[in-house]
A and B are shown apart, each in its own frame.
Chain A
């Protein structure tokens, strides 16, 4: 698992070094049967290219949209998905768990 994490980190670094605008999404808490463990990450650029995973495909679509917002606003955001969240339920977090995902832009300073 740490090797996967290392590769997401490398991708984030390479994209940033290439001058691309990048955001990182990280699973910061999970309750119930979450598909990916806490600490799992996804890196995304302003064109929607991404690598890594925060939910094994359940909520990636919403996370990507939020990442674009974070890149544009320069501000981090906390997302929450779960059975008590209509949107996320539709997004298909079918395992009945709940996850919080921290989406943050990579900033230059």
Chain B
């Protein structure tokens, strides 16, 4: 590998840009392709293998036009932004961390966002419309809005659906969500944007209590990330 390739991969990782190193195994020739560079001029079979690799986070050797190429996927770490330092957040944060997510909890209400309830490094006490653009909502990021408070949840949802975040969820019953949809629509959100929001949040597993709700959220995030339609057995 050329030192220049090593630098480029490392810079992409630091900037949270998913990239892949292709090694053509017959010639040893290598090239880097970023996920946002896959386009019309990328051979269809290669584009498909790359997209699948980025989505599943799996590297593999594939045949393209009779040539074996090793696609090594360099995805940045997963990230979860939780809006609302609520009880479910206390259960979800450590679980998501175990599943490989960097977790940030955004809540300006300092009565909720306390170091007694959360680890200091996970807390961001700015308002969502200030915090989120800086934290960044990219293809490796999930956002869940858990406050029930339109002042906090709605701005976060507007930003999240307009971003390439792979998962956007909002807590609340079907009725609460219907009211929320009305507000979001009035606020200018498109039907396509509204359809991006998983609400009521999480898989329907009959969850009771914050911990089980956290399980259902993490399960739905995983299914969405891996492009797998969940089935209830």
Q: List B contacts of A109 (CB < 8 A).
A: 2
B69 — nearest CB in chain A belongs to which residue? A28
How many chain A residues touch B (CB < 8 A): the figure is 26
B44 at the interface (CB under 8 A from A): no
Q: List A contacts of B74 (CB < 8 A).
A: 2, 5-6, 9
Interface residues of A in 1-60 (CB under 8 A from B): 1-3, 5-6, 9-10, 12-13, 16, 24, 26, 28-29, 37-39
- Contact of A2 (CB < 8 Å), options: B6, B10, B57: B57
Name the distance in Å between A49's Cβ and chain B's nearest Cβ. Answer: 17
Bound CA span A16–B5, Å: 12
Complex contact A28–B70 (CB within 8 A): yes
A6 — nearest CB in chain B belongs to which residue? B13
Q: List A contacts of B77 (CB < 8 A).
A: 2-3, 6
Name the distance in Å between A90's Cβ and chain B's nearest Cβ. Answer: 26
Name the distance in Å between B230's Cβ and chain A's nearest Cβ. Answer: 22
Which among B3, B61, B73, B75 has the greatest number of chain A C-beta atoms within 10 A? Answer: B3
B229 at the interface (CB under 8 A from A): no
Bound CA span A104–B64, Å: 22
- Contact of A26 (CB < 8 Å), options: B28, B70, B75: B70
A76 at the interface (CB under 8 A from B): yes
Complex contact B3–A16 (CB within 8 A): yes
Bound CA span A39–B73, Å: 7
Q: Please name 10 pairs of A and B residues whose Cβ atoms are closer than 8 Å in the assembled complex, sorted by A.
A: A1-B100, A9-B74, A16-B3, A26-B72, A28-B25, A28-B70, A37-B59, A38-B58, A39-B72, A107-B3
Binding site for A on B (CB under 8 A): 1-3, 6-7, 9-10, 13, 23, 25, 28, 57-61, 70, 72-78, 100
Binding site for B on A (CB under 8 A): 1-3, 5-6, 9-10, 12-13, 16, 24, 26, 28-29, 37-39, 76, 78, 102, 104-109
